[in-house]
Amino acid sequence: MSQPIVKIENVVKRYRELVALDHFNLQIEEGEIFGLLGPNGSGKTTTINCILSLLTYDKGSIQVFGKEMRPDSYESKRQIGVIMQNVAVFDELTVYENIDYFCGLYIRDKKTRRQYVEEAVEFVGLQDFSRFYPKKLSGGLLRRLNIACGIAHKPRLIIMDEPTVAVDPQSRNKILEGIEDLNKQGATIIYTTHYMEEAEQICSRIAIMDKGRNLALGTKEELKQMIKKSEGISIEILNLEERHIAELRALKHVYEVRYANHHLEVLCSGGAHNLSRVLEYLQKEELPFGRVYSELPTLNDVFLEITGKELRD
């Protein structure tokens, strides 16, 4: 088995009294799109900064490409591309010049650099804006420039720290597609986000973090199998008696029934045909109902069940 591209062992990071990373462990394999999912303040960015050797940590070890990561690990750094949470570009340089500047910190050969910069401009779809200054770009285009600056040198490992914050849906889709393309081209990607939909859409494996701890790790299917809920059924219904609620709770695979504001919610664990069983019961009892929804569990459900709070709380 090949060695992991990133290996974090037992890392503890404290900000005075606050424990930002609490005996944190993680292994990321080459070729993955690895998601670090957690609410704001859960320790995602601290993890990234420790991997990049920007932050000191109190305990543990971090290896990248099989070597301990240090501020002077120039060979390792040469193979890493970073897209920070906030846009980090020069206002006085054009789109092309910004990408060229950052690419030039990795690639010395001018000809190769020119080629890489042009490919990066094309990759993020900024061909029509290459002579624009950042101030003239919309938020979404600026985010794309931020990404181009981080990936132009064709890194083997790309670390993206919430690159879609405050981005319009169109640009967000473009960015997510781009990330999948980069992965197809061979780059390993570490992607932090608090948007569960994004993690579900692109990540091959996901670690769920909260309070500096790795709470769960696996593919999205594996994570969803870790929790009790397998299906949630919501039905608009006018009048429901306590008797009905008790009888619904007694149906096969149902473990929770809630009714409030003419809204019935039935949570099921495992099994199949749960929806049809619930609807059959309502028809049998001649209870009129309106719209019906059936939802499979989301990563938010996973987070809710593990931590007792919503992902975006």
Q: Facing residues of 292 across strands?
A: 235
Q: How is residue 199 annotated by DSSP?
A: H
Q: Convert residues 19-58 into a mask of x (bound to another protein by CB under 8 A) and - (unbound).
A: ------------------------------x--xxxxx--
When the beta carbons of 78 and 249 are compared against another protein, the nearer one is: 78
When the beta carbons of 90 and 255 are compared against another protein, the nearer one is: 90
When the beta carbons of 134 and 297 are compared against another protein, the nearer one is: 134
Scored b (16 or more CB within 10 A) or e, 161-174 reads bbbbeebeeebbeb
Which residues, 6+ apart, have CB-to-CB distance to 271 below 8 Å?
230, 252, 253
Of the CA atoms within 13 Å of residue 157, those in its CB half-sphere come to 23
CA angle, corner 71, sides to 68 and 77, nearest 5?
Answer: 75
Residues 147-166 that bind another protein (CB under 8 A): 149-150
When the beta carbons of 150 and 212 are compared against another protein, the nearer one is: 150
Residue 126: what residue type?
L
d(CA 42, CA 37) in angstroms, rounded, equals 9
CA angle, corner 170, sides to 169 and 175, nearest 5?
Answer: 95
When the beta carbons of 57 and 303 are compared against another protein, the nearer one is: 57
Give least dist CB 221 to another protein, A.
33
Q: Does 104 bind another protein (CB under 8 A)?
A: yes
Q: Does 106 bind another protein (CB under 8 A)?
A: yes
Q: Convert residues 66-95 into a mask of x (bound to another protein by CB under 8 A) and - (unbound).
A: -----xx-xx-xx-x-x-x-xxxxx-xx--
Give least dist CB 209 to another protein, A.
18
When the beta carbons of 69 and 248 are compared against another protein, the nearer one is: 69
When the beta carbons of 84 and 223 are compared against another protein, the nearer one is: 84
Structure tokens at 121: 């401009």
Give least dist CB 95 to another protein, A.
14
Which residues, 6+ apart, have CB-to-CB distance to 98 below 8 Å?
89, 90, 134, 145, 149
d(CA 220, CA 207) in angstroms, rounded, equals 10
Give least dist CB 234 to another protein, A.
43
When the beta carbons of 106 and 259 are compared against another protein, the nearer one is: 106
Residues 120-149 that bind another protein (CB under 8 A): 149
Give least dist CB 7 to another protein, A.
18
- Judge whether 94 and 84 are in contact, CB under 8 Å: no
Residue 211: what residue type?
K
Helix (H) or strand (E) holding 196, with range, is helix 196-202
Give least dist CB 33 to another protein, A.
20
d(CA 68, CA 239) in angstroms, rounded, equals 64
Q: Applying CB under 8 A, which residues contact another protein? A: 15, 49, 52-56, 71-72, 74-75, 77-78, 80, 82, 84, 86-90, 92-93, 97, 101-102, 104-106, 108, 149-150
